[in-house]
Structure 1
Amino acid sequence: MGEIIRANVFTKINAILGVLLVLVLVAGSPIDGMFGLLIIANSGIGIIQEIRAKRTLDQLAIVSQAKPTVRRDGVATQVSPADVVLDDLIELGPGDQIVVDGEVEEASALEVDESLLTGEADPIDKAVGAPVMSGSFVVSGSGAYRATKVGRDAYAAKLAEEASKFTLVKSELRSGIDKILTFITYLLIPAGLLSIYNQLVSSKESWRPAVTGMVAALVPMVPEGLVLMTSIAFAVGVIRLGKRQCLVQELPAIEGLARVDVVCADKTGTLTENGMRVAEVIALDGFDDGQVRKVLGALASDDPRPNASVAAIAEDMPDTPGWTSTAVAPFSSAKKWSGISYGQEGNWLLGAPDVLLDPSSATAERAEELGARGLRVLLLARSDRPVDAADAPGTVDPAALVVLEQKVRPDAKETLEYFADQHVAVKVISGDNAVSVGAVASTLGLPGGDHPIDARKLPDDPAQLADVVADNTTFGRVRPDQKRAMVTALQSRGHTVAMTGDGVNDVLALKDADIGVAMGAGSPATRAVAQIVLLDNKFATLPYVVGEGRRVIGNIERVSNLFLTKTVYSVLLAFLVGVAGVGSQIFGYDPIGYPFLPRHVTIAAWFTIGIPAFVLSLAPNNERARSGFVGRVMRLAVPSGVVIGVATFIAYLIAYAGPEATETQKVQASTTALITLIMIAMWVLALVARPFVWWKYLLIGGSVAAYVALFSIPFTREFFKLDPSNPRLTTAALVCGAVGIVLVEAAWLVQSRRARTLVTESVS
């Protein structure tokens, strides 16, 4: 909370405005200090929105966080990571994240992946007595470890603390805005010095009007709302996605997903629902149905951490023979099978038919036919050696085919169609049988689903792999290391890749993808490495996340155009007035002061930038995100700002009556310049707001009506020192404004035509 308040109050922009406010108050013109309200507004709105966003993040993070199973007094209970204390005995299973540092007390074929700590992807065997570090996760096997470091001493606690912070680091959008602000800073220094010199020396005015003129020149140069609107857009994005049960663990992920052009999706848990059911058990030659079910019941009941397939078998076959196991081989995504040895009762395997059998065998072909219908098929087989033998599985004798039904998510097809419409390619990358994966992909209408690729045949050469992955959409029997390699291959071709998944086999790919998206019901390890967690477990939520990212990026670009146009015309106008003032000393003509009071530049920004920018920053926007943010903004803002600055200066010169002018003449000159500025700035707002819908017409119409009221109502005319009563000068202002509008529109048309050409080239 304190960090958010400090970050919004103690800013460079607030400091600049604060100093200028003090100068205006010292000069005795509190009315001209209205821009000081921007300090309160910027800070207050920013604080409120960021606190709301942080609370949303914190609440969702609590829901999403891994809850380790702790054994206390012989009873196993799930607790929050913060509640783990020294010497707690914590149980482990496949996919579990190790939340505190500790030492292994129990181990059954326990393998741990420490790639998040060391970068080494190969799993490490952990025997009793071996150390385990928080931030790693279990790949296969089971066991328990005793906590030796907890709280802030544990690495995972630091990770969790950083993940839940409201931060805007590593954002392409923010880095672009920082570049723009740096450029503006370089312009502000000479423009500011020239304005100060002109107002205090060249204009030969008394010090009070000179100070107010100097402040009026400097205030509009500061893009005071640009950073604020960016923060608000991100914060509102987090809140909106939070309402859809989407946890954004790193805020730039909202922006990043909007730039994604390839989505790599796992099949199980993403395109299909997590739950399965046993559809059929087909006993093979030499084995009867009763024997097969007895073995399956034993394997399912003796698995301490069953996956979705084994859980479905356990639900269908709850009876167990009570055999005693002599060896265990837990399932892993690399070998695609698990097994338990029961001494005289035999060594039994449960795994992928096309891995355990010769693919040309009759049983493997039958499993392939079932898989082609979109069914998951497991093979129950007897082995001639213990399952933990170095050369396991050895000779395999097939006993039965277990057919499992997976339900395709009802919203998966619509989601894939959305990505196709948005020119985002979808790659289905699964560890399941390739034919089964292809059947599901074809059911959903995914192009290329009818010719899936078996990942065991993929080339190892990165360049060749990139070719295959680019040309195909559906892949089966993909190992975890291959998923990671495929993501890297796509990135090598310039793609921005999002990876979705829910299992421990997806962790490596999630970690290396540009954007990792985990399902809330997935393993704790996947949720730990992902930037976005879909707590509702719906793949269909992704389009909303993409849409929110596009809204943020597109609207910030619009808002940036407005603020930077104001900065450009303010800097240029200050330069023109300053150069004219210096020239008056050299060539002896009448000196020229700055045309506006601070109250004038304040009202000029109210309805051309301030209120419209706030509305536009929160509006719907589904334009596809593109690189080149800085260039596009500057190509519109610079010519528009130049036109406004020059036209305003010309209008002021037409109306300027010299240093000996009466107060009425000075007010009329300022009003003339202000009318020209507002006219062209309103047109820039209309350009930025395109394409028009009803509420944008209302926004622009309301802004025009507000200015008509300010210039018409006697009270506001007196309060803001406005006088449009001189027909000649007002006509001159309107003409200058009209010419400026034509020039701005021409610049916009040139820019729009260039942008359309670039978009066409990028799509093709």
Structure 2
Amino acid sequence: MVNNDIDVNDELDSDCLTGLSDEEIKLRVQKGKSNVVPKAPSRTISQIIRANLFTLFNAINLVLAVVVIIAGSPKNSLFAGVIITNTLVGVVQELRAKATLEKLSVLNMSKVKVLRNKHEKEINLEDVVIDDLIILVPGMQLVADCIVIDKNEFEADESMLTGESDSVIKKSGDELLSGSFIVGGNGYAKVIRVGKDTYAAKLAEEARKFKKIKSELQTSVNKILKIVIWLILPISALLITTQILFTKVTWQDAVISAAAGIVGMIPEGLVLLTSLTFVVGIVRLSKWKTLVQELPATEVLARVDVLCLDKTGTITEGKLNLEKIVPMGTHSIEDIEDILAALSGAFPSTNPTQQAILDKYPKCPNYKLKSNIPFSSARKWSGVEFENEGAWVLGAPEMILKDRYEEIRDDVEKEAQKGRRVLLLASLNNESLTEDLPENIDKAALLLIEDIIRKEAPGTLEYFRREGVEIKIISGDNPVTVAAVAKRAGVFNAESYIDARTLPESQEELAEIIENNTVFGRVTPHQKKALVNALKSKGHTVGMTGDGVNDVLALKESDCGIAMASGSDAAKAVSQLVLLDSNFSALPEIVLEGRRMINNLENVSNLYLTKTVYSILLSLIFGIIALPYPMQPIQLSLIGAIAIGLPSFFLALGPNKDRVKSGFLERVLSVSIVNGCVITLAVVAMSIIGFIHRIPVGQSRTLAVIIVGGISLVILTRVSYPLNGWKLGMVSAMIGIFSITFIFPITRRLFSFSITDLIYIFIAIFFVVVSWPLINLILEIYEQIKNKRKLKNK
């Protein structure tokens, strides 16, 4: 709603701007007219506790524990300890993640410059009040709804609000809606709506909802859990029924046996571990000043095989150095320097080119300004007109000279090949400054400007080259200049460049061109998006870095958008990762964190899902053959802790730099099913032997624990490969602890182990020993079949 206290058309003359006084600011804050943006929904501590405590898996474990206690065996309800463990770990890690994210968000809080008490002041967006005068510069996102004041003009991108891709010229009296971006123009706008009355509160959320990042890990785990949930219900019913009605044991023993089968089917540790892996990744990346705006972002970046980089602000610092001025007309170098200083100082705020000139010539002559035209991405030039010195323009030579560009083409391209940006300073020969430049422009000088390459860029680019990640440089600048800068930075095949103005519109043709070229110059925002889509159409996983408004569409379209904190609010709003200190060298660390996360989770998933597979198979088989279930809950808890729970914690957090492969779900399921089938076959064979030889149930279960625990430790050893010092120590410790439980009387009583004949123990150990080569054989046969199918499909 427009402020009713003060007419927005009053006091808009930019020649006498003062901004609000302290009293006026205080009055507006008291009336609730400050830009307090509604906070993003965040769970309270009680909500976090409830969310982690009241889960389906916890409910199943709790019911089974109560039933087992009623059956008279409290020790067999120890598996319910997972409820406390899962809840505590989940709550603690979520609180840590929340604290980390809030801390990082504060570090990344948007700032805005306003004019108050005749002085410029930088404040938080929430401190903006109605009638504040905001200083607008290109690349800035509007934090409140404003109106353009007198003698100011802007070029605004409202695509995120209206869906229209073309930028809109905003003149005096026009509204600038929050959520739009300033593409061109420098000056002032007056705030007319704040807080929940603006688009600002909704923009960031809507931008992030533009697409949900695709996590293969989360998708795969969710698929597995859905399948398991559907299997648990009927198999549990079958097992409970047969254990109570058909086995020759007491109802208490039957209930305890059924509980063991059901508990084993639940992969609750996998759910917890997946969440923990993402959360720990966020905490680790905070050390590298990286804000993770979507949890799976590190995973996706680790899968990226093509990384698109915007030159400015990514491989370069975004700062320019005016290296040389080449006079071309009758004007002296001193006159040219004065005009450049005056032109660059004629706007309220400066772009990098103007700043480079001002750094070189900080002393501005006292010329009286008649009018100015700010730089526009469409015009690619800016201009000023002085009372006594005439009108001057500065910008891209081809845009200023148009048909006369051939006069200096060779000079421009010669310098561009050296990686320099070439700008033309020209006089309008006593004609007035308008947006339509005259034909008889007088060339005054060429400005040779160089990008300052980030110190860390060459090492980071070399890392990605070694890791097989293709680099594509996509920029709005001259392709020859961009290629030269890319070569200086160490981009492989940087000499293979193309002017985007010659690109076809067909995605198929575009896909072939982008595959065969590295550097793309003069690229429009929509072409950046098209190039990303073309790469994705070829099956690539595409990462995109950027810092400007012109990168927004491509950042949205990429699989993983990465923004520099020093860049525009627009880029940060739509990216999954924000480099808070704009440090390009953090990207390899993010990739390594993603690799560690994915590869380790895949390895430990084999442990959890193997348990689920053999528990489902054993429950189904023993439910059908009506024999007592071969293990008790406490025995299964021992195996789960020794061979899965404790080791998986260390394995998940250990280093792992292996390249990420696609097909997570297929690999995990194939290995887990093979492991689970081998364990099931061994246990069923041992149970049949025990049934034939009339081995007591207690002794038969002890033999089953030896087999299941032993083969699980074999699988743990396989998962831990390659065995280094700490992994070997961990596996040895787990084997030692498992063996000790059979030796001491106190542990034998605790886990209900019975002494049995040595011959049967040797048979059980034999099953454990042969499991390794048997698993190898089955997996080799599976791989051969899979490879034959691939060849056949080709």
Q: TM-score, normalised by structure 2?
A: 0.89
Greater Cα offset, 743-752 or 206-215: 743-752
Q: Which residue of 2 aligns with 1:455?
A: 500
CA contact (8 A) 1:283 1:399 kept: yes
Q: Which residue of 1 aligns with 2:772?
A: 741
Q: Which residue of 1 aligns with 2:13?
A: none
Task: Tell me by how many angstroms 1:758 deviates.
Answer: 11
Amino acid at match of 1:15: A
Q: What SS does the corresponding residue of 2:685 show, helix, strand or coil?
A: helix
Task: Tell me by how many angstroms 1:331 deviates.
Answer: 1.9
CA contact (8 A) 2:321 2:452 kept: no
Q: Which residue of 2 aligns with 1:303?
A: 347
Q: Which residue of 2 aligns with 1:222?
A: 266
Q: Which residue of 1 aligns with 2:331?
A: 287
1:197 equivalent among 227, 241, 247: 241
Q: Which residue of 2 aligns with 1:434?
A: 479
Q: Which residue of 2 aligns with 1:29?
A: 73
Pair 1:687-2:718 in alignment: yes
Q: 1:28 to 1:163 in 2, by over 3 A?
A: farther
Q: 1:451 to 1:666 in 2, by over 3 A?
A: closer
Q: 1:528 to 1:275 in 2, by over 3 A?
A: same
Amino acid at match of 2:485: V
Pair 1:47-2:82 in alignment: no
1:668 equivalent among 688, 699, 720: 699
Q: What SS does the corresponding residue of 2:231 show, helix, strand or coil?
A: helix
Q: Which residue of 2 aligns with 1:141?
A: 185
- Please give the alpha-carbon distance, in whole angstroms, between the structure 1 residues aligned to 2:730 and 2:784: 26
Amino acid at match of 1:276: L
Sequence identity of aligned pairs in percent? 42
CA contact (8 A) 1:65 1:524 kept: no
- Please give the alpha-carbon distance, in whole angstroms, between the structure 2 residues aligned to 1:56 and 1:172: 25
Q: 1:393 to 1:428 in 2, by over 3 A?
A: farther
Task: Tell me by how many angstroms 1:29 deviates.
Answer: 1.7
Amino acid at match of 1:364: R
Greater Cα offset, 44-53 or 671-680: 44-53
Task: Tell me by how many angstroms 1:183 deviates.
Answer: 1.0
Q: Which residue of 2 aligns with 1:123?
A: 167
- Please give the alpha-carbon distance, in whole angstroms, between the structure 2 residues aligned to 1:330 and 1:425: 37
Q: 1:394 to 1:525 in 2, by over 3 A?
A: farther
Q: 1:628 to 1:339 in 2, by over 3 A?
A: same
Amino acid at match of 1:559: V
Q: 1:561 to 1:383 in 2, by over 3 A?
A: farther
Aligned ranges 1:110-509 → 2 under 5 Å? 110-160=154-204, 170-357=214-401, 361=406, 363-383=408-428, 389-392=434-437, 394-509=439-554
Aligned ranges 1:578-657 → 2 under 5 Å? 578-581=623-626, 592-656=627-691
CA contact (8 A) 2:610 2:676 kept: yes
Q: 1:172 to 1:335 in 2, by over 3 A?
A: farther
Task: Tell me by how many angstroms 1:753 deviates.
Answer: 6.6
Pair 1:558-2:603 in alignment: yes
Q: 1:39 to 1:153 in 2, by over 3 A?
A: farther
The count of residues paired between Structure 1 and Structure 2 equals 748
2:567 equivalent among 503, 519, 522: 522
- Please give the alpha-carbon distance, in whole angstroms, between the structure 2 residues aligned to 1:43 and 1:237: 20
Unaligned runs of at least 5 residues, structure 2: 1-43
Q: Which residue of 1 aligns with 2:8?
A: none
Aligned ranges 1:62-73 → 2 under 5 Å? 62-73=106-117
Greater Cα offset, 115-124 or 12-21: 115-124
- Residues 168-214 of structure 1: CA distance to partner in whole angstroms, max 9, x if unpaired? 97533212211111111122122111111022211143222222111
- Please give the alpha-carbon distance, in whole angstroms, between the structure 2 residues aligned to 1:336 and 1:107: 21
CA contact (8 A) 1:384 1:394 kept: no
Pair 1:717-2:748 in alignment: yes
Q: 1:390 to 1:159 in 2, by over 3 A?
A: closer
Q: What SS does the corresponding residue of 2:111 show, helix, strand or coil?
A: coil
Task: Tell me by how many angstroms 1:336 deviates.
Answer: 2.4
CA contact (8 A) 1:279 1:405 kept: yes
- Please give the alpha-carbon distance, in whole angstroms, between the structure 1 residues aligned to 2:212 and 2:683: 38
Q: 1:139 to 1:681 in 2, by over 3 A?
A: same
CA contact (8 A) 2:155 2:376 kept: no
Q: Which residue of 1 aligns with 2:53?
A: 9
- Please give the alpha-carbon distance, in whole angstroms, between the structure 2 residues aligned to 1:682 and 1:393: 83
Q: Which residue of 1 aligns with 2:139?
A: 95
Greater Cα offset, 195-204 or 240-249: 195-204
- Please give the alpha-carbon distance, in whole angstroms, between the structure 1 residues aligned to 2:383 and 2:445: 14
Task: Tell me by how many angstroms 1:100 deviates.
Answer: 2.5
CA contact (8 A) 1:469 1:490 kept: yes
Q: Which residue of 2 aligns with 1:702?
A: 733
- Please give the alpha-carbon distance, in whole angstroms, between the structure 2 residues aligned to 1:367 and 1:164: 41
Q: What SS does the corresponding residue of 2:153 show, helix, strand or coil?
A: strand
Unaligned runs of at least 5 residues, structure 1: 582-591
Amino acid at match of 2:662: S
